[in-house]
Structure 1
């Protein structure tokens, strides 16, 4: 039972953060590694890579 209230507590805190817009979404890269990348639907030119 102890875990139940902890989970509920953190679920409520997470909900508060989401409602206030304080949660950052993880950006996702789509496509092969190359000079261009698509991030969240927008195309970017990569100026450097860590290959």
Structure 2
């Protein structure tokens, strides 16, 4: 039996958190529309902020 909940992770480079969340949402919605994948629904999208590395 498949798990009841699962998490997808993406590494995105973007200019803002809002843009990163929009891109992640778009990818997830496209996956949900794929008939070859099991039925699922998107519960939430969250993108953590990772500060850019500063070269020293």
Q: Which has the higher strand share?
A: 1
TM-score normalised to structure 1 length: 0.39
Relative contact order higher in (CA < 8 Å, ≥ 6 apart) = 2
TM-score normalised to structure 2 length: 0.36
Q: Which has the higher helix share?
A: 1
